[in-house]
């Protein structure tokens, strides 16, 4: 059975990306809006340009939604 929880967009402040080489998880603060995910800080392998562009877009979207103070929510299925 799945239970759904609703999370306001503004509470989705942190995002993470996992390195495909060493599995290091890099956590980014969307509220600061300034991060450049170019490479893994542990193994120094470059992240895929698609990942970098996606995080830049997500940071931009986050800042725009925060300014507009929309009440957008996501529903996330959670196993009990």
- The DSSP secondary structure of 5-72, one letter per residue, reads EEEEGGG--EEEEE-TTT-PEEEEETTT------B-TTT-PBPPHHHHHHHHHHHHHHHHHHHHT---
The verdict on residue 77 lying in a domain is: no
pTM (2 decimals)?
Answer: 0.62
**Domain region containing 61:** 2-72
pLDDT at position 69:
67
The verdict on residue 20 lying in a domain is: yes
What is the count of structural domains for the chain? Answer: 1
The verdict on residue 78 lying in a domain is: no
pLDDT at position 53:
86
pLDDT at position 66:
72
The verdict on residue 35 lying in a domain is: yes
- The predicted-structure confidence for 5-45, as pLDDT tens digits, reads as follows 777 777 778 888 899 999 999 888 877 766 677 889 999 99
The verdict on residue 80 lying in a domain is: no
| pLDDT surpasses 80 at 80 | no
The verdict on residue 60 lying in a domain is: yes
The verdict on residue 18 lying in a domain is: yes
């Amino acid at each position: 059975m799945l239970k759904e929880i609703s999370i306001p967009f503004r509470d989705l402040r942190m995002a993470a990306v996992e390195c495909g080489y060493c599995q290091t998880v890099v956590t980014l603060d969307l509220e600061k809006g300034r991060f450049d995910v170019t490479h893994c800080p542990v193994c120094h392998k470059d992240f895929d340009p698609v990942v970098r562009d996606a995080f830049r877009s997500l940071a931009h979207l986050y800042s725009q939604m925060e300014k507009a103070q929309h009440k957008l929510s996501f529903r996330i299925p959670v196993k009990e």
